[in-house]
Structure 1
C-alpha cells in the first residue's frame, strides 16, 4: 500500500476538518507516494517511539499528540524536535498525527477509554454537529457498583503509571452512569455536573477546579495519567487500519511507556488537619 492509502483511511476515521482551529494534525513528514508495509501507533511522538518505529521497520508512525503543535521557523537537527524529524526522514519513516479530530470522532479517543473501562457508550459529553461525534463520552456500566470498586476497575483497565488512579467522594457511593474524557478534561466539569452522571473519568484535573466541583456536590471524580487515558486509542486506531488493509500492512501498537512521570515517592511528613 502507498502512504496516501493509509492516510485516506485515517482521515476517513478521523476527519481533519473536525480538529480544533488551534490544532496541528495530518502528515508531518513523509512522501504519500512511498510504499508502506508496516505502521506503528503511539500516543506521543518522542525519541523512544521514533526509535521503536525504526527498530520494527515501520514506514509510518501514527501518533495522537502533534509533534509540531506551535509554529516553528525551522527544524535544525540540534533541536530536540528537529532531531526527530531528521531521524524520521533519514530512516524513511513518515509521521502522521491525529489529535483533536481523533478526540471528537465517532469511535475516537474517549470511546476507546469508555470501552476499556467497560462502559456502554450512549453519546458524547459535548456533542458536535454530526450525530455521535463530539468531545468526551457518556456511558453506563452493566450494574451499579461502589465508587471504590469502580476506581479499581479504572486502574485495572489502564496501563500502570507513577501517578496511578486518584478518586474523590464516598467510597461506597454507587456508580453506574459515567462520563469520560481522554486527555485533559477539567474544562468539562460544568458539562459533567449537568449530565446527570455518577462519576467522571479524565486526566490532568487541577486542584482548584476539582475542589470547587466536589464542594458543589458534583459527580465523583477519577483522575488518571494523561498518557494512560489516551493509550486505549492506539489499539482502536490500529484495528481500523488492520480491517482496512486485511493483512497487507502490519500494524503494531507501541510498547513504549511515554508518560513523562517516571519516579514515585511517598511523603512521611505530617501535615494538614481533618
Structure 2
C-alpha cells in the first residue's frame, strides 16, 4: 500500500462520479483548502457544519467529502464571527480540505439514487430523467502485423473495445502501408530516404467519449511507430444514459399506506407525508433523493404509481394528486444513505489502486427538523 494525496483520491472519485454529471447551477468540487498534500483519513458526510468539522479534527481527517456544498452561494466576505466564516476559519486552521459532490453523485451509477432504490428494494431499474449520455467514438489505427496483438491488448486495458458484456472487441483488416523516412526521422522500420512498404493491420475499436484521451495515450505509448497513423470517428450511437432519479418495481404489489410504512422503516425516518388514496395498489416506484417537486411529470411519464422524494410543496402535491400520481415524502435528509455508500465505494477503489487511506463515516446528525 502506498501513501496518497488528495488529488489521487479525488481523481478516483471523479472517475466514478464525474463533475460533468452535475447540473450547471451546482457548485461541485473543491470548496475549501487544497488537494496537493498527503491524506491519511477522509471523513464522508451529508452536510458540513462546525460539528462535522470538529468530528474531522477529532478523527484526524484532513479531507472531507460531502454531498451538500458548504458554500452554495458565493461568499462576499469571510467574517469569522459568523457560522459559515467560523467553519472556513476552522478548516484552514486545522488543514482540512472540503470537497462536495452533489448532483453528480445523484446521477452516478451507484450514487445517491441507486442507493435509495436499493434501500427500497426496487428491481428492474431505469433512469427517471435522463440528463447525460456521451458519444461513442471509433478509433482506427494502422500497425505492423507483428506488433498488432500487443497494441490491441493495450487498447483493451485502457477501456476501448468494451461493448455490453464483452471486452476486447475489435475489427482488423490487412493492407500495405507506405512511407518515406526523411532527415530527422527515427524510423522503427525502414531507412532514411528509402520508400518502405510494410504489411499492416487496421485495428478498429469503439470507446466512450470520456475515455478518448486515456485510449489515445495508451495507443501512442504502445505503438511501435514514431508517427502512427490513426483516426477518431464520432458515431451516431451514444453510451448508456445517465440521469436523475430511478424507477423500478417492488417485489409484490402493495397498498400505498403499507408501502409508506415500509419506506419509513427502510429509510429510517420518524415521519413522512403521503399524497394519494391509502388503499391504492402500487407496483412501480420512482425515487429521487433531495427535492423532487420539479420531477413529478417525469415520474408520471415513466409509469410510476408512487413517487418517493423530498420537499414536496403544497401546490405540487395538488398537481400530483390530480394526475393520479401518489407521493411519499420522507424528507430531504434521506440522502444520508450516501455516507456509507461513498465510504464503502471509495474504500474499494482505493484498495484496488493500492492507496493507504481510511474512510470514516460521519455520525453527526445534520437533520434540521424535529418531529413531535
TM-score, normalised via structure 2 length = 0.67
Normalized per residue, which structure has more strand? 2
1:14 aligns with 2:17: yes
Q: Is the Cα contact below 8 Å between 1:2 and 1:33 reproduced in 2?
A: yes
- Structure 2 residue 154 is the aligned partner of structure 1 residue 128: no
Match 1:110 to one of 93, 113, 118: 113
| Aligned Cα root-mean-square deviation (Å) | 1.5
Structure 2 Cα separation of the partners of residues 141 and 153 of structure 1: 11
Is the contact between residue 121 and residue 137 of structure 1 (CA under 8 Å) also seen in structure 2?
no
**Secondary structure of 2:318's partner?**
helix
2:268 is the alignment partner of 1:159: yes
1:157-184 deviation per Cα after TM superposition (whole angstroms, max 9, x unaligned)? 12334xx112122223222211010000
Partner of 1:77: 80
Query: How far did 1:136 drift?
Result: 0.9
Corresponding residue to 1:225 among 331, 335, 338: 331
Gaps of 5+ in 1: 266-274
1:230-251 Cα shifts (integer Å, max 9, x gaps): 1112211111210012282211
Gaps of 5+ in 2: 134-239
Displacement after TM superposition at 1:191 (Å): 1.3
The answer to whether the 8 Å contact 1:178/1:198 transfers is yes
Shift of 1:149: 1.9
Secondary structure of residue in 1 paired with 2:309: strand
Pairwise CA distance, 1:18: 1.9
CA offsets, 1:16-45, max 9 Å, x none?
122111111111122322111111111111
Q: What is the SS of the residue equivalent to 1:127?
A: strand
- Higher mean alpha-carbon deviation, 143-152 vs 193-202, is at 143-152
Could you tell me which residue of structure 2 aligns to residue 268 of structure 1? none
Verify the 8 A CA contact 1:106 1:132 in the aligned structure 2.
no
Q: Decide which moves more: 68-77 or 230-239.
A: 68-77
| Structure 2 CA distance for aligned equivalents of residues 176 and 233 of structure 1 | 25
SS in 2 for 1:106: coil
**Distance in 2 of aligned mates of 1:28 and 1:147:** 41
- 1:251 pairs with one of 359, 364, 372: 359
Closer, same or farther in 2 for the Cα pair 1:15/1:223, shift >3 Å?
same
Match of 1:128, SS state, is strand
Secondary structure of the corresponding residue to residue 125 of structure 2: strand
1:126-177: per-residue Cα shift (whole Å, max 9, x none)?
012322410111111122222122111111112334xx11212222322221
CA drift at 1:62? 0.8
> What secondary structure is seen at the aligned counterpart in 2 of 1:78?
coil
Alignment of 1:45-60 (within 5 A): 45-60=48-63
**What secondary structure does 2:265 align onto?**
helix
Contact preservation (8 Å) 2:320, 2:326:
no
- The higher radius of gyration belongs to 2
Q: Paired residues, what number?
A: 260
Among 37, 42, 53, the residue aligned to 1:39: 42
CA contact (8 A) 1:123 1:132 kept: no
Compute the displacement of 1:74 (Å).
Answer: 2.7
Shift of 1:120: 2.2
**C-alpha contact 1:114 1:121 (8 A) present in aligned 2:** no
Q: Alpha-carbon deviation of 1:121?
A: 5.0
Selected match of 2:339 from 234, 253, 271:
234
